[in-house]
Chains A and B, each alone.
Chain A
Amino acid sequence: MINQIPNNQIPNIPQPALMASNSILTLGPFKHRKDLTRESVLSTYQIMGYIAAGTYGKVYKAKLKNNNKLEGEDILDDDEENILPQFYAIKKFKSDNHHGSNKSHHSHDSNGNEIIHYTGISQSAIREMSLCRELNNKNITKLIDIILENKSIYMIFEFCEHDLLQIIHYHSHPDIKNIPITTIKSLTWQILNGVTFLHKNWIFHRDLKPANIMVTSQGVVKIGDLGLARKFNNPLQSLYTGDKVVVTIWYRAPELLLGTRHYTPSIDLWAVGCILAELLSIRPIFKGEEAKIDINNKKAVPFQKNQFQKIIEILGTPNSKIWPNITKYPEYPSFQQQLTNQIYPANLVNWYKMIGGENKQCLNLLQGLLTYDPDLRLTADQALLHQFFLESPKVNENAFEGLSIKYPNRKIYTDDNDIMTNQLINSNFKRAGGNNFDESIRKKRA
């Protein structure tokens, strides 16, 4: 690339300092050039308020600004798929403070605002960014754009009016009937369709739960939050090494509870089974209490006795006859010691009767998804072809079709519209999202 110049012809090289100072060139002129041309979030979108917040950061609802150039393109796109959505959900990642030095001693500018520093992008943010960029499926939340601006990451998704948690919550009101089976059928099929797409692309989600399943106002399911999702086609190290604990406790598959090191996409199908059960009965089927990590020994992952207990009360105590490999799991001794004092019979059929279930094929699908042995559990594409979906009434692209209920729209909190500030997430955000939100609602219901 560079012509070879004999050494003695470049006499004036400045000698390098022994150690580079922080002022050494890093991005230099390039940074300046980029900063001048970047389209900012605020110049493109008008923030309407935030809709959820959690440990990851905050999600805002927004619409395109009127004066935006995109309007012209809008008219050109008569292809239905390409019509720009009216509203957007902008996910802003909280900057990861573990890496920064700003936690111990906050630095402030002259106005008393906190000066934010660049910190390394978290593993979950980078997974979500890289995977969403490549994925395009009707039943996965669609990424519109990623903007890296002002030391923050903004992911712009299409906006979804509902999510399953909110729908289930709505039905938990004593005056409202359960969700009709036709709606459940369409919702479940669409979830499975999205999961099949992910698995076909060698990705597993690892955090399927009602709060992560969005539904648009047109009744289309969109699987969201790929922060724990990852590719599994050629892992460089065991999955366990990467993330010790995956999936929210109530939806965690038995092999994970038994501490498996090498799990398969079937963990997602267990979660779908739990979601289906929850749609049917309006409450989580296995509502265990999470054993907390020992403060003195943070590296050890505790055996989730209570969660496993909830599972066997309904599905019966597993044994090596129905699950040949059960004895090989790392936590099998704990299971043997703590949970085999009382042997429970398989009881899912009675559970189904008790919640008023009548459709036999639906029960059969549920049994297929909530199978102990991950090798025998239905796979996503097997489940898609289950008799339940083939018999009438047919699966509908609009899960809400024929439904007399109109679910309430998402609440928008307008007390913090300023997407640009970088406050630390404080306690009052909990009301609007994350696990704490789920729990508090459920406690109220109980």
Chain B
Amino acid sequence: MRIYIHNLFIKVGRRLNIRQIALASGEIYLTRFLTRVSLKEVNIYLLVTTCLYVACKIEECPQHIRLILSEARSIWPEYIPSDISKLAEFEFYLIEEMDSYLILHHPYKSLIQIRDYLDLNYGKFGIKLTQETMQNSWSLINDSYITDIHLLLPPHIIAVSAIYITIVLKKNLLQLKNLNENGQNNNTKDEMNIDDLMSLNGIQKNNKKKSNNNNENGNDDFELDILDEDTIKINKFMNFLEHSHINLDEIVEAVQDMMNVYLVWNRYNEQTVKKQLQAMLLNKI
């Protein structure tokens, strides 16, 4: 269901060319709203539209209420009424339900801050985040809005987790590629991603153990690995984390949640969710 809603946001967002930050804020508003109100009590399509409308205003890239409503109506004509006062009414209830707390901080900014910090302190940590790492981490953050972690954990934790997954994944991807080449296996890239994320679970636990008992164990785990470029990078990043006083338990939690999304995504069937929503919405009238 959360994946379905996430995709609803993306649909409207693409139509109106809405910035990622506003999209993210909108999703948070929706998640917060649904912690207090049952999905069965409201029209989810109008809720998505309203969240985006408010988010655009807060992020200072306002869209006209008529435009946003007409775009939403063209995507879901069967669910979106043409009367703008319905959207405006919903806006009131949405803001009230959130007690007017509307300003949000997103991991995107933390991500950039971490990159800049690492660039600045290259001498100390010896690690830079490449354009590719940044892009992949950014995408991971985009997907993480399906989960609840944004309500539970501060943005920098999520940013760090995204970087962590990215660089560990890259290493595993390379290993997998080697395996696949041997076995003449032509997996598509997507499937590889998911397989990889699953296998990551194990590795990541080891790493955490390592970092938690760092003083005693040193880099034992990794000395056994082949010290390729990516492993060194992971090590350096772990070193940075230890210096940063970031809560590692929270990172473990975030990484788990962020990866679970992909497991669920694998089984996701859009049509089923759509039908269920339809049954729920239209039985009410």
Contacts and interface: CB of A to CB of B under 8 A. Distances in A.
Contacts of B38: 30
A17 B92 CA distance: 27
B41 A24 contact: no
Interface string B195-227: 000000000000000000000000000000000
Contacts of B81: 20-24, 26
A333 to B, nearest CB: 30
A118 B95 contact: no
Contacts of B275: 7, 10, 13
A230 B60 contact: yes
Interface string A363-374: 000000000000
Given A117-B85, A236-B59, A134 B1 contact: no
A234 interface: yes
B21 interface: yes
B60 A242 contact: yes
A180 interface: no
Contacts of B152: none
A236 B84 CA distance: 26
A19 interface: yes
B182 interface: no
Contact of B60 (A28, A31, A237): A237
B273 to A, nearest CB: 7
A410 interface: no
B139 interface: no
A1 B280 CA distance: 14
B185 to A, nearest CB: 29
A23 B42 CA distance: 13
Contacts of B59: 236
Given A119-B85, A123-B62, A236 B22 contact: yes
B281 interface: yes
B79 A151 contact: no
Select the residue from B81, B99, B279 with max chain A CB neighbours within 10 A. Answer: B81
Contact of A24 (B43, B58, B99): B43
A420 to B, nearest CB: 16
Contacts, number: 162
A7 B272 contact: yes
Given A26-B42, A148-B96, A18 B89 contact: no
Given A13-B278, A22-B83, A236 B78 contact: no
A48 interface: no
Interface string B51-91: 00110011111100110000001000111111111111111
Contact of B90 (A20, A27, A237): A27
Contacts of B88: 99, 117-121
B276 interface: yes
Given A16-B282, A236-B61, A7 B271 contact: yes
Interface residues of B, number: 62
Nearest to B39: A1
A231 interface: yes
B279 A26 contact: no
Interface stretch (A74-82, A125-133, A338-346): A125-133
B277 to A, nearest CB: 9
Contacts of B102: 126, 129-130, 133
A5 B42 CA distance: 22
Select the residue from B19, B62, B83, B269 with max chain A CB neighbours within 10 A. Answer: B83
Contacts of A234: 21, 109
Contacts of A29: 41
Interface string A125-147: 01001110110000000000010
B283 interface: yes
Interface string B6-46: 00000000000001011000000000000001100111001
A235 interface: yes
A4 interface: yes
Contacts of B46: 26
Nearest to B281: A25
A235 B88 CA distance: 25
Contacts of B73: 20
Nearest to B1: A1
A183 to B, nearest CB: 35
Contacts of B103: 130-131, 133-134, 231
A13 B279 contact: yes
A14 interface: yes
Nearest to B84: A99
A237 B58 contact: no
B167 to A, nearest CB: 25
A128 to B, nearest CB: 10
A4 B21 contact: no
A316 B59 CA distance: 40
24 contacts: A4-B267, A12-B279, A13-B278, A15-B282, A16-B278, A18-B77, A19-B82, A20-B78, A24-B43, A27-B41, A99-B88, A118-B85, A120-B65, A121-B91, A123-B62, A126-B57, A134-B101, A231-B60, A233-B109, A234-B21, A234-B109, A236-B21, A236-B59, A237-B61
Interface of B: 1-2, 19, 21-22, 37-38, 41-43, 46, 53-54, 57-62, 65-66, 73, 77-93, 95-97, 99-103, 109, 267, 269, 271-273, 275-276, 278-279, 281-285
Interface of A: 1-2, 4-5, 7, 10, 12-31, 33-34, 38, 99-100, 117-121, 123, 126, 129-131, 133-134, 146, 148, 151, 230-231, 233-237, 242
Query: Nearest 9 pairs between A and B by C-beta?
Result: A16-B78, A30-B41, A118-B88, A130-B102, A1-B1, A118-B89, A120-B65, A14-B282, A118-B85
